[in-house]
């Protein structure tokens, strides 16, 4: 039987497992079963992608097996030792590692392009730059969120004067550089791509620095959606439908969760982000009323 057909079947099983598991995660009663089904789907996809290049000669299976073994051991130990109260930190780490993978993929493909090892269309260059940008924000932003949640870094430790202006200026510079690299095509060179990647990593840190307190879960959820979008970008680079479907699901569910959390806090996402950029008390709502809570004893009837 054709290997590609079997691979596509494995990807289909993985995609169905993701969708079904995500649906079951909507209820506490079925969340554990949903997590199991999603894990089975991921396992089917991993097995499929391992067997996919069998007919291509050089498969580098020792490297693949070594990476799987190391990742499985680390993931198992983390899952067994993490406390329920530390789950946000663990989710933040996973978001960051997903973003780091997208950064590596985008940088490797751009290096192949600029060294002449492979050709890329304008759309492929744009997708690779998007993977660098979104993945870089997810990587360093999630790491900083992890440091804050572990109380290894104070919320206002790295805030600069006029931090909101710095963030906006840095974002404009990154976007302008990305457009320049896209327009220049092969003439841009790997050096500019590396600078673009570094600026994206710096922006990830600067993006999360002013935000803290009660707003941190919202930011982690937003970074989760970024990691999904970076995975979708990687799927577009390699033409991998499973990575594309999985990334879109993570990005969409992370965005929906972010909006729901903001609604529960009676705030908009823009208010959370701009509130953090303002450099004030992180996580404090505008117009919050201060005062002292006084306990009144119930009156007695004579």
Give 169-183 pLDDT, tens digit per residue: 999 999 999 999 999
25 and 132 share one domain: no
Torsion over CA: 231, 65, 80, 78 (sign):
negative
- Does 75 fall in a domain? no
- Does 255 fall in a domain? yes
34 and 108 share one domain: no
Residues 6+ apart with CB under 8 A from 302: none
162 and 261 share one domain: yes
The residue written with tokens 């990647």 in the block is 197
Least confident range from 36-50, 115-129, 225-239, 272-286: namely 272-286
- Does 19 fall in a domain? yes
149 and 273 share one domain: yes
As a whole number of angstroms, the distance between CA 67 and CA 84 comes to 27
Least confident range from 125-139, 189-203, 240-254, 268-282: namely 268-282
150 and 269 share one domain: yes
Would you state the pLDDT for residue 200? 94
As a whole number of angstroms, the distance between CA 74 and CA 69 comes to 9
124 and 222 share one domain: yes
- Does 233 fall in a domain? yes
Question: pLDDT band at residue 302, thresholds of 50, 70 and 90?
Answer: very low
Domain span including residue 38:
1-58
170 and 263 share one domain: yes
Q: How many domains does the chain have?
A: 2
As a whole number of angstroms, the distance between CA 74 and CA 20 comes to 26
- Does 35 fall in a domain? yes
41 and 95 share one domain: no
Q: What count of residues does the chain have?
A: 302
199 and 95 share one domain: yes
Question: pLDDT band at residue 300, thresholds of 50, 70 and 90?
Answer: low
Would you state the pLDDT for residue 152? 79
91 and 54 share one domain: no
> How far, rounded to the nearest angstrom, does the alpha carbon of residue 107 sit from its chain's CA centroid?
17
């Amino acid at each position: 039987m054709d290997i590609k057909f079997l691979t596509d079947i494995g990807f289909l099983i993985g995609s169905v497992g993701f969708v079904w598991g995500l649906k079951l995660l909507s209820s506490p009663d079925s969340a554990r079963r949903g997590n199991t089904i999603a894990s089975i789907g991921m396992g089917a996809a991993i097995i499929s992608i391992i067997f996919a290049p069998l007919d291509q000669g050089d498969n580098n299976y020792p490297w693949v097996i070594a990476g799987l073994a190391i990742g499985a051991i680390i993931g198992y130990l983390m899952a067994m030792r993490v406390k329920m109260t530390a789950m946000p930190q663990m989710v933040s780490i996973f978001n960051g590692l997903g973003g780091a993978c997208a950064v590596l993929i985008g940088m490797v493909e751009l290096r192949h392009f600029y060294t002449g090892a492979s050709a890329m269309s304008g759309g492929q260059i744009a997708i690779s730059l998007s993977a660098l940008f979104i993945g870089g924000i997810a990587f360093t932003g999630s790491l900083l969120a992890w440091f804050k949640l572990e109380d290894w870094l104070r919320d206002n430790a790295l805030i600069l004067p006029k931090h909101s202006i710095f963030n906006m200026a840095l974002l404009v510079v990154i976007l302008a550089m990305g457009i320049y690299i896209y327009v220049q095509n092969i003439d841009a060179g790997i050096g500019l791509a590396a600078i673009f990647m570094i600026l994206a990593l710096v922006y990830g840190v600067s993006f999360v620095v002013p935000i803290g307190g009660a707003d941190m879960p919202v930011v982690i959820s937003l970074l989760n959606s970024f990691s999904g979008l970076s995975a979708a970008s990687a799927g577009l680079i390699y033409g991998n439908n499973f990575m594309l479907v999985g990334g879109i699901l993570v990005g969409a569910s992370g965005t929906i969760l972010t909006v729901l959390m903001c609604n529960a806090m009676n705030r908009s996402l823009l208010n959370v982000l701009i509130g953090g950029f303002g450099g004030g008390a992180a996580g404090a709502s505008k117009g919050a009323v201060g005062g002292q809570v006084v306990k009144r004893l119930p009156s007695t009837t004579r």
